[in-house]
A and B are shown apart, each in its own frame.
Chain A
């Protein structure tokens, strides 16, 4: 059938884009290197300057862009499908706020001095605490309870983060916190990749398993349940979606900071190309998110002179106008 072929073609194009941009992000940067030579050095176990830059800086950065972008795109598509609201984004769960609070607490307590890994681990701890609180609050409640619990958690985490910012003694630490909250992939290493990977993989698998149920849900909860899907309860679709999105997004925010608009814009742009079917949107959204973040990260590296532009700032600068354009189109077409 046509839409199946279209979706397959879209996936191939997006995957090719991810592969090309990944390759380019290894080549592109402040220091010019011969990438083939650097890759040859890595394979041969030699420690040339190019090999070190690729292996320790650019490769983990590209991998994180793929993982974080993919997670944000996928969780945006899943949450929009589940809540049947095209304006839902991963931030509504409040887990990003929890991860940010965890990381900010590391700044405040001075644990940053103990190890560089204290920051992502603190973020991960904050995210996991937020997941536990969210799951406890939601229980067997429906989408309204989920939205309320997410809003409560998000507001509380934001209030505590503001409190920490208020109490932090050094203006330098304040600046560091603000900078981190804007989101970035600069100076990330393979340790960050390993910290983020388990949550991302588990979360993505949980979310991808909900595709069929999301399709059934397009006609309402009663129809989905009558078609044989369990929505609530321990093994229900809501648990899989919330746990999956929370785990993966929390893990990503812990290593990259808060990067907005990817989860909102990517599914929104790709939806018309997938026949508006939620299950068909999942893989393209993950690939599209990776593609967008790889591209944005490359732009950040090249455009920045002196102070590096933060990745989250760029995605917001690019993402917000997309909505302006959509508003204008909506007013013109009326649909």
Chain B
């Protein structure tokens, strides 16, 4: 079953094509990795997939319905979005901020904070011991986990995460990727923007490679990441370690 489908989506800003004819399909139980070099248009494409930016042309369907026509409240119950570089949070408690994820379900304050989905999300992200701490005191990695917990607390069929592991140490990055896989195992669909190609090949079912606003290749990690593409798109040579592809040396 297709949860999210983008078809030929384009966006121009200041006379420049930021995203050009991009397409993506997210099925139930799948983890799709959106990869590409800096400035490829991944974050803009993610904002369009999340319904926060209307495309100039092309169409995005969420659960079979044009995302632009879904009321924001309903869309928030179907799709959770973790933006890149979330703002520095206020000194509210971690639990209060994670409980904001229950807002689309009409739950607020104490009712939201006591909801089992919030407790599960805190436990799943390893934040149960930090839930009373002011969020402004969290480290970058803890903040990333809190943002994920907020997205999980909404309990949506689709989760979009823009560079969720950028601030995480290897152990927490691994554990977050396991968490995304676990969510997919429960029948949800996950799209993640990633720069770590080792984790991308290991945890994603499909990769969508973007460069200069266009999707230049999509498919299984092995189909997408070959030596040629790594050299032309990323400018690096690679070495294969098992199933994973490891950027090895800069091309000169």
Contacts and interface: CB of A to CB of B under 8 A. Distances in A.
Interface of A: 1, 3-4, 84, 212, 215-216, 218-220, 222-223, 225-230, 275-280
Contact of B86 (A215, A220, A225, A280): A220
Contact of B110 (A4, A228, A278): A4
A226 B82 CA distance: 9
A93 to B, nearest CB: 22
Interface of B: 47, 50-52, 72-77, 79-81, 83, 86-87, 89-93, 96-97, 100-101, 103-104, 108-110, 113-114, 134, 147, 150, 154
Given A1-B114, A228-B75, A229-B72, A218 B97 contact: yes
B108 A222 contact: no
B100 A215 contact: yes
Given A212-B108, A222-B47, A275-B93, A228 B103 contact: yes
17 contacts: A1-B110, A216-B103, A222-B50, A223-B83, A223-B86, A226-B83, A227-B100, A227-B101, A227-B103, A227-B154, A228-B72, A228-B76, A228-B77, A229-B72, A276-B92, A277-B96, A280-B109
A230 B114 CA distance: 26
A219 B147 contact: yes
B52 A226 contact: yes
Nearest to A278: B90
Contacts of A279: 108
A222 B89 CA distance: 14
B101 to A, nearest CB: 8
B52 to A, nearest CB: 5
A227 B87 CA distance: 15
A279 B80 CA distance: 22
Given A227-B103, A227-B104, A219 B73 contact: no
A321 B101 CA distance: 39
A5 to B, nearest CB: 9
Contact of B80 (A1, A4, A225, A226): A226
Contacts of B104: 227-228
